[in-house]
Structure 1
């Protein structure tokens, strides 16, 4: 049996799932994927080489669009992010993405959260784009997959608080994974987690649809049963009909006898007169 757990998956299974990632992304969202996994990491790498790393307001907005397309859609989030001034975004991202003065991810996460509309998950995305090899994005799928203890303990609907503490735990888990499974990046681990989560989601949707069809079929069956008379009811009705005819005949005879008696009494009175 193939082991899909975070601690048990092997390199072959990992690579097989990684190849499935493009099929899990809708065509209309692939330009955003290109920005998130290729273009923006390349731009930040160039800035890193120049000694000053930062993200522009437009780049942050693009990453927010990507995040919303991959996870829970929150229409108000993009509006909040756009309320940040370009100057403030430049200042905060320069402090948060810099690795020269402070390499503490949790401290840099807190710095990036100064931006309006940016919480720990989105802040981790900015960090992950800056260092896709070692820094993980705090995605729902990755956190839930990394939280599995064994095959039965993992739950794709596990509640997430999106706290710095949870992110710290995720960073440690991803580091352990990379030490066990060689030559994989944090971004690739994120993609495999997305494939597994998407597959689980599709299975859940299919199961609900199957249950709905079964429920509809049962309701139609009950309705059909109500419309059709049961064999027992038909037999009962057949038994009642003879009784009804007998009662009617008896009443006719009674009326006939009463008429005959009345006629006889009238005839007797006439003879007496």
Structure 2
């Protein structure tokens, strides 16, 4: 998916293929983890009025989702799983209160051991998808041309780009959030990789038959 494309229909198709892409990755845990992250966690957080927060088990499950959907780094899971409950609650409460000031919100969360800007962005995206998108490799490459720089500075550039794209796509009567844009980009990139991989497998099996 070319980030510069302004055809809403193409973006809607990419976004609507998200669940199919999750299912086609052959990671059984990912289906249930993604359901938790995209459907359950947001409502759980918002039910905690007047001061929303997340718990250590929820942060741990969110980290598992992030690592299963992307690159597996078990040490990060160990770090967040061992953080004191009150510390996670306090940091997330402050972060959510800081929005829409994304920079401050990220900084409140990255005091937690094992939580960098990318994991912090996943926490914010669960609470405020209309403000802060998740910092996935695939969306970073599509929007910025690379995914090597996991700094707060780079994330803020990423946020600006995805917020602007969401606004552009919403201008035609549709409602697109920055998180919708991220999921569409991720789904498009992963879907293309799956197709390319299956084509390679088909070609190699044909070669074997010829021998």
The TM-score normalised by the length of structure 1 is 0.67
How far 1:112 moved relative to its partner? 0.4
Comparing both chains, which one has the higher relative contact order based on Cα–Cα distances under 8 Å and sequence gaps of 6 or more? Answer: 2
Correspondence for 1:44: 45
Contact persistence 2:138–2:147 (CA under 8 A): no
1:124 aligns with 2:121: yes
Cα distance in structure 1, aligned partners of 2:134 and 2:45: 16
Distance apart, 1:122 and its partner CA: 0.2
Within 5 Å, give how 1:217-236 maps onto structure 2.
none
| Aligned 1:93-104 pairs, distance under 5 A | 93-99=92-98, 103-104=100-101
Q: 1:202-225 deviations in whole A, cap 9, x for unaligned? A: 24434654776699799x7xxxxx
Deviations 1:111-144 (A, max 9, x none): 2011111111000111111101221111111111
Equivalent residue in structure 1 for 2:184, among 177, 181, 192: 192
Instruction: Give 1:260's aligned residue.
Output: none
How do 1:1-273 and structure 2 match up within 5 A?
Answer: 4-26=1-23, 28-47=29-48, 50-99=49-98, 103-147=100-144, 158-182=146-170, 183-206=175-198, 209=201
Over aligned residues, Cα RMSD in angstroms?
2.3
After superposing the two structures, state which structure 1 stretch, 119-128 or 17-26, moved more: 17-26
In the TM superposition, residue 178 of structure 1 has moved relative to its aligned partner by 1.5
**Separation in 1 of the partners of 2:20 and 2:61?**
22
Larger radius of gyration: 1
TM-score after normalising by structure 2: 0.86
- Count of residue pairs brought into register by the alignment: 203
Is the CA contact (8 Å cut-off) linking 2:95 and 2:108 kept in structure 1?
Answer: yes
Contact 1:83 1:116 in 2 (8 A): no
